[in-house]
A = this chain, B = another copy of it.
Amino acid sequence: MSEMASPKHLESVPSREENFAEHGIEWLREHGYKVTSQRRAILELFGRLGEHLKPGQIHTRLESKLPSLSLATVYNTLELFEEEGLVNRVTAQDGETYFDPNIQPHHHAVCNQCGGLFDIDIEGDQLDQLAEASGTTEREETDFAITGATIWFRGVCESCDDG
């Protein structure tokens, strides 16, 4: 059931996006949660955009389709999705809260110029190496047993570098 095929055909990657909503809906059903139009719409929005979204953005983007959608419901829904592992909560370095449909462990990069947020894949053992390299497990003053890490890169994205 793991369709994490290596991205050899970059043009035909769209399956994840389209299936995100379907998977989510089925998940809700299987776990006894009600499939409401609001939950469906939020899942579909994630599936369509595949991006990190802020609660307010979600609310705004769904306003036309669901005029009665309340921000409280957006928050409720995101809380549910996060608790159940359908999305990840991401706090950016500027304090903004995003929700990310990409639940694979990964990191982020922020473009200094356009402010864009990009996913960065990184190998698990490279993280271990980093932990070792940081020397934090060796220094007596800061003996800290590392179980994980989140990295925020800064730099310039491809688009901004071109222009």
Contact = CB atoms under 8 A, between A and B. Distances in A.
Contacts of A156: 144-145, 147
Contacts of A10: 141
Contacts of A150: 93, 151-152, 154
Interface of A is mostly: mixed
Interface string A28-60: 000000000000000000000000000000000
Among all A-B residue pairs, the 6 with the closest Cβ atoms: A9-B141, A146-B155, A143-B158, A126-B133, A148-B154, A122-B134
A147 B156 CA distance: 8
Interface stretch (A15-23, A63-71, A73-81, A112-120): A112-120
Contacts of A161: 143, 145
A34 to B, nearest CB: 29
A148 B144 contact: no
Contacts of A131: 153
Interface residues of A, number: 48
25 contacts: A7-B141, A10-B141, A91-B91, A95-B97, A109-B142, A118-B144, A120-B142, A121-B139, A126-B134, A130-B151, A134-B151, A134-B153, A144-B153, A144-B155, A145-B161, A146-B153, A146-B154, A146-B155, A147-B154, A148-B153, A149-B151, A149-B154, A150-B154, A151-B151, A151-B152
Nearest to A141: B9
